[in-house]
């Protein structure tokens, strides 16, 4: 059992990338700005980091995002990061609405940024939608279909 856990730790891409960057866990979390406990969970394989944290690690460790995701590294292949954003209205009587920010990342660098505004007043719904789209790597070209399925009242908001 211990040998199996040790092998799992040695094969962990997050640990390997940090060690190649010559950083201790303590030094890494200073730059990553999340807890030591979270980093240890990622490196032990107990938890997968959210996509935005993996992007952060690739920047700090100066490694390819595909390496951290243990994927082949075709330089032309894009990855997508979806994040909920709060949309502020210039009219105070309007309700607060949330939208999606979409970042396209190619070869570890953000190449484009788009905001899809005013999707819902339900912040948690938009947060879950962003997490799902990031996890499934939804191509932005297919986002309208995903939004129509997830937000049936979308037509009423526009």
pLDDT of residue 12: 85
pLDDT of 96 higher than 90: no
pLDDT level of residue 71 (50, 70, 90 thresholds): low
Q: What is the mean pLDDT of residues 117-121?
A: 87
Q: In the chain, where are the structural domains located?
A: 2-68, 78-157
pLDDT level of residue 73 (50, 70, 90 thresholds): low
- Give the percent of the chain with pLDDT over 70: 84
- Considering the segment(s) 2-68 as one domain, its CATH architecture is Orthogonal Bundle (1.10)
Q: If you average pLDDT over every residue of the chain, what do you get?
A: 81
User: Do residues 61 and 18 make contact, with C-beta atoms less than 8 angstroms apart?
Assistant: yes
Handedness of CA 91, 92, 97, 100 (dihedral sign): positive
**What is the tens place of the pLDDT at every residue in 12-64?**
889 999 999 999 999 999 999 889 999 999 998 888 888 888 889 999 999 87
pLDDT of residue 24: 94
């Amino acid at each position: 059992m211990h040998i199996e856990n040790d092998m799992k730790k040695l094969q962990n891409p997050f640990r390997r990338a940090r060690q190649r960057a010559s950083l201790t866990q303590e030094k890494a979390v200073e730059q990553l700005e999340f807890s030591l406990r979270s980093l240890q969970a990622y490196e032990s394989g107990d938890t997968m980091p959210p996509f935005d944290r993996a992007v952060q690690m690739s920047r700090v460790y100066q490694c390819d995002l595909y390496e951290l995701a243990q994927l082949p590294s075709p330089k032309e292949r894009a990855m997508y990061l979806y994040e909920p954003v709060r949309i502020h209205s210039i009219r105070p009587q309007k309700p607060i609405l949330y939208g999606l920010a979409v970042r396209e990342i190619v070869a570890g660098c953000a190449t484009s940024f788009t905001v899809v505004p005013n999707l819902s007043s339900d912040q948690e719904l938009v947060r879950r939608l962003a997490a799902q789209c990031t996890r499934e790597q939804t191509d932005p070209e297919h986002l309208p279909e995903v939004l129509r399925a997830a937000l049936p009242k979308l037509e009423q908001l526009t």
